[in-house]
Amino acid sequence: MSWIRESTLSCLQTCAMKVLKSGQIPRHVAFIMDGNRRYANKKQYNSFIQGHTEGFNKLAETLQWCLDLGVREVTVYAFSIENFKRSKEEVQELMTLAENKFKKLLDEREKLMEHGVRICIVGNMSLISENLRKLMDEAMLITKGNSKALLNVAFAYTSRDEIVETIKSLAQKVDASQLLPEEIDEKLFAQNMYTCESADPDLIIRTSGEVRFSDFLLWQFSYSYIYFSKAFWPEFSVWDFLKAIFYYQRNCDELQRLKCYSELSNKV
């Protein structure tokens, strides 16, 4: 399954998307893709990896929905640092799946170039294998000139790790006399995070019915609309997606008002 696939929306789904396009479209949507293992168990698959494979296929489909709707930036929580605590066998299978999918991406780079999608990996790259890191680096390199859409893949990521690594980076700059402690503020802190090239998410969607954030983008989502879907990630449908967009549109004005008020208060 390719990372980018052709749109397969029905006439009714296309009409619904056009209606939503008349409202405010989130610039940045983030996904906590939860429920792959429970989906595999529900389907009585022989291995959890089949659930993760179908989860990747759903990611490719969802990326196309975002492109069709006009979402400019997507962030996906692909692999948490906490996932390293799973069985050695499952972690290895997930790493192998990731390597295969990034090889597939590189083999089909023309599709990314055609759609103008830039790939950015956010996370602690020191925790993954050299082979996978090289594939990710190459994906970022070949797409760095694309500017129509941005896909952030959060891999070996947690917010706590991101914040700790940012503190370490700033401390090193202070020790090297490149920075004064009093120069550090929220803006500078954000500029040194893994996600420094991204806007804060407007909408965060979590699947599987779990109502928690799993240490994902905790610094960045102060003014995001959070939508929880009961569907397991591989079962997440275009109607689930459009429903999330609808609820975002109902609440985005209030979120923007709160954000503007906060920014004005900080300037006083």
- Looking at the chain, the whole-number percentage of residues with pLDDT higher than 90 is 84
CB burial readout 125-160, b (16+ within 10 A) else e: eeebeeebbebbebbeebbeebeebbbbbbbbbbbe
pLDDT at 47: 87
Query: For residues 26 and 202, is the Cβ–Cβ distance under 8 A?
Result: yes
- Sign of torsion over alpha carbons 258, 227, 84, 135: negative
Residue pLDDT, tens place only, 127-159: 999 999 999 999 999 999 999 999 999 999 999
Q: What is the full DSSP assignment across 62-121? A: HHHHHHHHT--EEEEEEEEGGGGGS-HHHHHHHHHHHHHHHHHHHHTHHHHHHHTEEEEE
pLDDT digits (tens, 9 = 90+) for 100-128: 999 998 998 888 888 899 999 999 999 99
At 63, the pLDDT band (50, 70, 90 cuts) reads very high
Q: What is the DSSP string of 114-140?
A: HHTEEEEEES-GGGS-HHHHHHHHHHH
**pLDDT score, position 202:** 97
pLDDT in tens, 206-237: 999 999 999 999 999 999 999 999 999 999 99
Give the pLDDT mean for 174-179.
Answer: 95
Q: Name the DSSP letter for residue 30.
A: E
Assess contact for 35 and 207: CB atoms under 8 A. Answer: yes
